[in-house]
Amino acid sequence: MKIVFVSNFLNHHQIPFCEEIKKLCDEFYFIATEKGNAIGYQVSQERDYVIDYSCDTPRAENEILSADAVIFGASPDSLVNLRMKENKLSFVYSERIFKKGIWRRFIPKNKSHVENRYINHKDKNLYVLAASCFLPYDLSLFKFNNDKIFKWGYFPHIEAEQQEKEENTILYAGRFIKLKHIETVIEVANLLNKD
């Protein structure tokens, strides 16, 4: 079986997932559609399964078309369309589309993106991997079938020693941006401390 994962770049969140999928398949490739990233993630393109789309476009497109299954992350809609012309098993994973408000579905650029990536293929062999509990709702606004949406997440490998502690601890791992709502973690810690 051949599986291809297409996304903008391979980062530390995805490497453990890719390493495990590679063990389970006859062939596995990660196609990186961009050279770098805008939010400072460490980029890891030096793996034997990474194909740089900009340097080897014909090979990358051939792997996308010949794979048994393709997972699309942050990547051009044109690559999803390429695969859907053949109606081959494909998955698109995404966080919430309308993080800044569902009213944004009326912005022509946003509407076009949702239609090109999801809605135009809703009757084809395309499924959605929701990395957010809000994504199914966002897609339902466009009449996308919820039976074709699955919960999705990948978890980085962590090596940590287990220690017995007298007190409980909470670990937060994420960026300190408004969208992540770190204040909720603080509120929960306060409630647990009181109880």
| 108-133 residue pLDDT tens | 999 999 999 999 999 999 999 999 88
Query: What is the H or E stretch that residue 83 is in?
Result: helix 77-84
> Is residue 128 within 8 Å of residue 93, measured between CB atoms?
yes
Question: Which one-letter amino acid corresponds to residue 194?
Answer: K
**What pLDDT, on a 0 to 100 scale, did the predictor assign at position 37?**
57
**What pLDDT, on a 0 to 100 scale, did the predictor assign at position 38?**
52
Strand partners, 62: none
> Is residue 144 within 8 Å of residue 118, measured between CB atoms?
yes
Mean pLDDT of 183-195: 88
Question: Which one-letter amino acid corresponds to residue 27?
Answer: E
Q: Which of 6-20, 120-134, 142-156, 159-173 has the highest mean pLDDT?
A: 120-134
Mean pLDDT of 5-22: 89
31-40, 48-57, 156-165: lowest mean pLDDT where? 156-165
Contacts of 96 (CB under 8 A, 6+ apart): 132, 134, 135, 138
φ/ψ (deg, to 5) at 191: -65, -45
**What pLDDT, on a 0 to 100 scale, did the predictor assign at position 39?**
53
Mean pLDDT of 72-83: 94
Number of H helices, E strands in the chain: 6, 7
Burial of 97 (0-12, 13-18, 19+ CB in 10 A): buried
